[in-house]
Every structure is written in structure tokens, then in C-alpha cells.
């Protein structure tokens, strides 16, 4: 199994790049969104949950994400995790994720856990101008998460920008590939897709040579 990591600022196009790579690779491929692994806080009121910093690395359940990735790499299926942004609570599903030849993990702190980073075959960082990321975030949060512009602006100034400056922009130093122009950079997607298909073929050839049943 090949594990890929995609990291970058909120609104940089991580989810888009993951989807484009799935289409380009054209093989057995699964995407894991780090956003589904926010820690649950059932002891807090909704108002208290709203005041949490959802852009710091410690807000995620890194152990659960790591365990799920390890399970997939060892050939065991896992349940897809979920999160309800309107209520700030976990909303795990009964959807089963089966092991795949390629697993993509994407998130703003996808490179935070060194255990996970060490398992990644290729780490990609999306570099996009902060103003463009903000505009994309505004469009997404209004359309998909039911937030208003005042709420988005307040969160951006209070947590999104400071956490980007403190943590996220520095993940570029952990990356193997820096992707510019967002997730729809057709040229880099094509290049990466070809490279990954080639690596997949190498893995298959190696598996065939070491499989006793093939003799």
C-alpha cells in the first residue's frame, strides 16, 4: 500500500487535490480527511465548543487517525469517521473503508504526527496565497457549513491565521513536493499521477515475485 499525505492551509485545495489524484491514478484509492478526526467534547455546551480553537494541532484525535491508517496498511477495514460542523460533534458513520492500494490523508495538520509522516511514501504541501485561501474558505463555510461572514471573519483572525503562521506554513519543510496554484494544477496532477502509477506497478511486480502462489 502507498500512503500519501497532503497538507496546507485551510482553503488551499487539499480536498480538491486528493480528488484529482484519485481520478488521475485510476486505481484502488481511498481518501481520509483529517477533518473527520476532530476530538469530541460531549461534556461541553455548544457555546463552549464554539470557543475552542479548531485550527490548532491538538484539537485532532491523532491516535485514532494513526490507528486507522495502521489498520488499513495491515489489511484491515475501518469505519469512516465523521464530524458535524454545525453542532461541533463527532458523527462517525457505518461506512466501511476497505484497504486500498493507495491511501491519501489530507488535512491542515496532516504532517503533525511524526508517526504518520514516517509512513508516508510521498508528502505534498499546497502553497497558495493566504488571501486566496480566505476567499475559498468563505465560500465553503457559507455554502457547506451554514456560517455567516462575521463568524468566518472572527474565526479567521482569532485562530486560522495565527495557527497558519505558527504551525501550518512550516510543514512545507516536511514536504517532498510543493504544489502551487491549488488542487486543480493539472500539470502537477498529471506528473504525480504518472509517477504514482509507476510506483504501484513496481509494488505489484515485487508482490508477484515474492508470492509463492505465483510459482
**pLDDT value at position 144?**
73
Backbone angles phi, psi at 177, to 5 degrees: -135, 135
**pLDDT value at position 212?**
66
Q: Where do the domains of the chain lie?
A: 2-210
Which ranges of the chain have pLDDT less than 70?
A: 211-215
Cα–Cα distance between 25 and 130 in angstroms, integer? 29
**pLDDT value at position 17?**
95
**pLDDT value at position 27?**
72
Beta-strand ranges (E) seen in the chain are 2-8, 29-33, 78-79, 83-84, 89-90, 96-97, 102-107, 122-127, 177-180
| DSSP 8-state code for residue 61 | -
- For residues 149 and 138, the answer to whether their CB atoms sit within 8 Å is yes
**pLDDT value at position 137?**
74
Nearest residue to 81 (alpha-carbon basis) of 12, 32, 116? 32
What class, spelled out in words, does domain 2-210 have in CATH? alpha beta
**pLDDT value at position 63?**
98
Amino acid at each position: 500500500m502507498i500512503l500519501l499525505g497532503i497538507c496546507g492551509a485551510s482553503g488551499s485545495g487539499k480536498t480538491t487535490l486528493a480528488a484529482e489524484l484519485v481520478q488521475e491514478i485510476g486505481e484502488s484509492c481511498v481518501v481520509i480527511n483529517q477533518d473527520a478526526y476532530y476530538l469530541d467534547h460531549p461534556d461541553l455546551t455548544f457555546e463552549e465548543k464554539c470557543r475552542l480553537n479548531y485550527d490548532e494541532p491538538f484539537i485532532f484525535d491523532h491516535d485514532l487517525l494513526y490507528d486507522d491508517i495502521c489498520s488499513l496498511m495491515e489489511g484491515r477495514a475501518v469505519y469512516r469517521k465523521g464530524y458535524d460542523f454545525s453542532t461541533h460533534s463527532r458523527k462517525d458513520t457505518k461506512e466501511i473503508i476497505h484497504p486500498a492500494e493507495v491511501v491519501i490523508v489530507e488535512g491542515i495538520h496532516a504532517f503533525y504526527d511524526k508517526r504518520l509522516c514516517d509512513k508516508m511514501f510521498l508528502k505534498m504541501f499546497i502553497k497558495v496565497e493566504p488571501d486566496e485561501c480566505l476567499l475559498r474558505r468563505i465560500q465553503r463555510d457559507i455554502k457547506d457549513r451554514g456560517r455567516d461572514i462575521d463568524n468566518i471573519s472572527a474565526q479567521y483572525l482569532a485562530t486560522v491565521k495565527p495557527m497558519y503562521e505558527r504551525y501550518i506554513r512550516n510543514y512545507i519543510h516536511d514536504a517532498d513536493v510543493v504544489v502551487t496554484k491549488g488542487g486543480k494544477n493539472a500539470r502537477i496532477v498529471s506528473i504525480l499521477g504518472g509517477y504514482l502509477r509507476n510506483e504501484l506497478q513496481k509494488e505489484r511486480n515485487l508482490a508477484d515475485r515474492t508470492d509463492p502462489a505465483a510459482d
